[in-house]
Amino acid sequence: LYRATFTYTYTIPSYTGSPRVIDLGAPVYTMSYNGTVKSVTAPAKVGVIMKGAPFYAEVKNEDIDTFETPNSANGAAYELRKGMVDYLTGMTGDYARLASGLWVRKTSISTYTSKTTLNPKITSAIYRTGPKWDTLKLAYPSSLAATATFDGSKLKVNISAASSGVIPALPSNSPFSSVTFAKNGHVGQYVLTLKPGASIEGYYIEKVSDGIIVHIKRPVRASMGEKPLDGITIMLDPGHGGSDTGATGPLGTEYPEKKINLENALLLKEELEKRGAKVLMTRTTDVYVSLSDRLTASRNAKPDMFLSIHANSMAENVDISQIEGFSAHYKEAIAKPLSQALCNAAAAAGRRNRGIKWANFYVVRGTWAPSMLIEVGFTPNPTEFEILTDKAEQKQLSMKLADAITEYFSGKR
């Protein structure tokens, strides 16, 4: 027997009439050879979803990831909340495509057809300011799916299928100078533009029974005195742990990355608490914590800053003596200034500054606070491994990082 590949092209019929979903059934593959006939039915059906068909996807989990393509290789794009609904326009493999163009895992949604169409009108928009969080309440009768993005100057709120929007009145003390609404393809988009010199330090969408609330975080400021970080909450996330050792260096699993991460985190916790901060930890001992649990901890706590602490590795085919240094990784624009401040602090502690880098790491996807992942050095490099495991060097780095965090919250950016 020899392996062979056969292909067949099938043109989907063109359908007219009322928008609907047409089930074409599962393909049946039949082969015959010397009088022997074998047939196999495909594990999935083929169908047509006509444009505008009342075929819907509803989020059934508390928080789900969306993707730009039907796979998770490049990381998630946005989150959707339980109960949000969008038109379903396609399926392939384990993924379903929403009308917004985003893909979701089939296991995270319920699908259904209905004679009732989504109501695309936003009936009210109210912006309220608060001491720490502002809110934008957008009311609409259908549970339309919504996402938000921030590029450093504009906060964009995208609402699937929304055709018209009410413009909210902006209080004079809001950080935004203007707000607009426009139809952008399938979505209705609000754009809130920051005032010159203004900033925000977090945002997220909450689904409520009659629409959504966009929570917008005002800059958090340090106070004067011996405890400048009093009232500020920081979450530290020592990477790896338990059965997940992380990268290894000259001592192998006797002194792996997970141990270096925890030592650095505990020292930084001590320095931040000296300055008055409330410090939360995703782990304080050598235990395994999943990436999902780490992000969930951040989401639930909504800290003023989230910092994941790691040590780096490298490919086996490079000169390990030539690769060293500290780097900071971020996904959201709100985390870029603090990422740069941490890199500068590492340089002040005598570490090589490899700079900041954009990365879609799982734990830094939180939009409710500046969320970063730092790599304090390369464990395989023997020279740098000595620095990474030296208690005095660890202490020096933790002090410089705590100083930089304090300066950041003092408005020195």
Residue 378 has pLDDT above 90, yes or no: yes
Is the overall model pTM greater than 0.75, yes or no?
A: yes
Question: Which residues are catalytically annotated?
Answer: 375
Q: What is the per-residue pLDDT for 82? A: 97
Q: What is the pLDDT of residue 240?
A: 98
List 217's β-bridge partners, or say none.
133, 202
If we measure between CA atoms, which residue out of 167, 165, 173, 189 comes closest to residue 134?
173
pLDDT tens profile 226-270: 999 999 999 999 999 999 999 999 999 999 999 999 999 999 999
Is pLDDT at 116 greater than 80 in this prediction?
no
* Token reading at 405: 């965090």
Q: Which two tokens stand for residue 168?
A: 């909210």
Domains of the chain with bracketed CATH: 124-217 (2.60.40.3500), 233-409 (3.40.630.40)
Report d(CA 303, CA 280) in Å as an integer: 8
Query: What's the pLDDT at 1?
Result: 61
When the pLDDT of each residue in the chain is averaged and rounded to a whole number, the result is 94
Write out pLDDT tens, residues 157-195.
Answer: 999 989 889 999 999 999 999 999 999 888 999 999 999
Query: Percent of the chain scored above 70 by pLDDT?
Result: 99
Backbone angles phi, psi at 237, to 5 degrees: -130, 90
Instruction: Tell me the C-alpha distance between 215 and 123, whole Å.
Output: 19
Spell out the long-range contacts of 287-296 with Cβ–Cβ below 8 A and sequence spacing 24 or more: 287/241, 287/242, 288/241, 288/242, 288/243, 288/244, 289/241, 289/242, 291/362, 291/363, 292/362, 294/237, 294/362, 294/363, 295/362, 295/363, 295/365, 295/366
- Between 6 and 294, where is the model more confident? 294
pLDDT digits (tens, 9 = 90+) for 321-336: 889 999 999 999 999 9
Q: What is the per-residue pLDDT for 241?
A: 98
Q: Which residues contact 393 (CB under 8 A, 6 or more apart)?
A: 349, 350, 387
Confidence check: pLDDT of 413 > 70 = no
Say if residue 297's pLDDT is above 80: yes
